[in-house]
């Protein structure tokens, strides 16, 4: 018996940590409902999960749009019979100060990064409650604790995710629903690659930036999406039955010290 046999998991974001998590949960026997706006990534995920023999419904869906989240939850429940797990990994990462960030960009960050977690909870928790419980894991960031400069909107969303995680955990604990967040440091995914490449960077520039980012972490390297997926899978599993309302850092020691190399 695998750890997620008979479970149905909704995962937002179809690249990076979302993709690694969908793979991990599917390998554990879960049926996957995945939502993303990157159509090419969605098609690749669909093909990969199908060829691995997993049950999966991969949908082109914008997780900041209520009807699209409602539709994804409904389609998944109809196909697989219910919902047990939600992993919220989709996000945008705008750069800017409060002065240089325009209001549309600010609102988009709030609605994609935080609003989507409200929406998956709003439509998903009633389904989880019908099953007698479940688990939600929200992907936050170390930026929710100690942020860099020029990421005002992004960092704000990550702090909000920590708070929303606690609120959801308290409100739904007696329904058997556990809610936690994970806060990664730098992880090798498309979001980090974009930061590493800048406007015109080469692949060598990206690797050099990854090395530099890694140096900032006491452990001396950046993390891999599979490492984050493994922590998420643990929090989704029955082994984490007493874990709720908490954040779990996975940052190579980044936030353990002050200016430590």
Ligand X SMILES: NC(=O)c1ccc[n+]([C@@H]2O[C@H](COP(=O)([O-])OP(=O)(O)OC[C@H]3O[C@@H](n4cnc5c(N)ncnc54)[C@H](O)[C@@H]3O)[C@@H](O)[C@H]2O)c1
Q: How far is the CB of 217 from ligand X (least distance, A)?
A: 11
Considering the candidates 95, 154, 210, 248, report the single residue annotated as catalytic. 154
Q: What's the length of the chain?
A: 261
Site string for ligand X, 114-153 (x = CB under 6 A): -------------------------x-x------------
Select the span of 47-55, 99-107, 188-196, 238-246 touching ligand X (CB under 6 A). 188-196
Interface with ligand X (CB under 6 A), residue from 8, 9, 11, 15: 15
Task: Give Dmax over CA atoms of the chain in angstroms.
Answer: 54
CB 228 within 8 A of CB 137: no
Tell me whether residue 131 or residue 221 sits nearer to ligand X (CB atom): 221
Q: How far is the CB of 100 from ligand X (least distance, A)?
A: 20
Determine, following the binding rule CB under 6 A, whether residue 44 of this chain makes contact with ligand X: no
Q: Is 55 exposed, middle or buried (0-12, 13-18, 19+ CB in 10 A)?
A: middle
Question: Distances in Å between the alpha carbon of 64 and those of 88, 111, 127?
Answer: 12, 5, 19
Q: Is the dihedral of CA 74, 75, 78, 81 positive or negative?
A: negative
Tell me whether residue 87 or residue 128 sits nearer to ligand X (CB atom): 87
Tell me whether residue 176 or residue 218 sits nearer to ligand X (CB atom): 218
Distance between CA atoms of residues 237 and 140, nearest Å: 19
Question: Distances in Å between the alpha carbon of 40 and those of 128, 200, 225?
Answer: 30, 22, 19
Site string for ligand X, 194-223 (x = CB under 6 A): ------------------------------
154 is a catalytic site residue: yes
Determine, following the binding rule CB under 6 A, whether residue 180 of this chain makes contact with ligand X: no
Select the span of 87-95, 121-129, 168-176, 198-206 touching ligand X (CB under 6 A). 87-95
Select the span of 171-179, 189-197, 229-237, 238-246 touching ligand X (CB under 6 A). 189-197
Residue number with the shortest CB distance to ligand X?
16
CB 182 within 8 A of CB 232: yes
Q: How far is the CB of 239 from ligand X (least distance, A)?
A: 23
Distance between CA atoms of residues 252 and 261, nearest Å: 11
Name beta bridge partners: 33.
10, 57
Determine, following the binding rule CB under 6 A, whether residue 189 of this chain makes contact with ligand X: yes
Mapping DSSP to helix (H, G, I), strand (E, B) and coil, where does residue 160 land? Answer: helix
Distance between CA atoms of residues 196 and 152, nearest Å: 19
Distance between CA atoms of residues 59 and 47, nearest Å: 12
Active site residues: 154
Residues that bind ligand X in the complex, under the rule CB under 6 A: 12-18, 35-38, 41, 62-64, 89-93, 112, 139, 141, 184, 186-187, 189-192
């Amino acid at each position: 018996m695998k750890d997620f046999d008979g479970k149905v998991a909704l995962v937002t974001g179809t690249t990076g940590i979302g993709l690694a998590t969908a793979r991990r949960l599917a390998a554990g026997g879960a049926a996957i409902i995945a939502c993303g706006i990157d159509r090419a990534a969605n098609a690749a995920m669909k093909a990969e999960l199908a060829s691995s023999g997993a049950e999966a419904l991969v949908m082109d869906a914008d997780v900041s749009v209520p009807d699209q989240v409602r539709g994804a939850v409904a389609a998944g429940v109809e196909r697989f019979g219910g919902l047990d797990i939600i992993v919220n990994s989709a996000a945008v990462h705008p750069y800017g100060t409060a002065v240089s960030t325009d209001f549309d960009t600010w609102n988009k960050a709030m609605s994609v990064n935080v609003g989507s977690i409200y929406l998956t909870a709003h439509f998903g928790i009633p389904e989880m409650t019908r099953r007698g419980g479940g688990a939600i894991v929200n992907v936050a960031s170390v930026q929710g604790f100690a942020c860099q400069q020029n990421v005002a909107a992004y960092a704000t969303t990550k702090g909000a995710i920590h708070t929303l995680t606690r609120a959801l955990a308290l409100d739904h604990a007696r329904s058997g629903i556990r809610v936690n967040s994970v806060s990664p440091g730098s992880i090798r995914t498309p979001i980090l690659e974009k930061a590493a490449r800048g406007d015109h960077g080469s692949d060598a520039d990206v690797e050099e930036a990854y090395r530099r980012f890694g140096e900032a972490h006491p452990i001396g390297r950046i993390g891999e999406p599979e490492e984050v997926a493994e922590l998420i899978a643990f929090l989704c599993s029955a082994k984490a039955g007493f874990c709720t309302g908490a954040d779990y850092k996975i940052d190579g020691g980044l936030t353990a010290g002050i200016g430590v190399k």
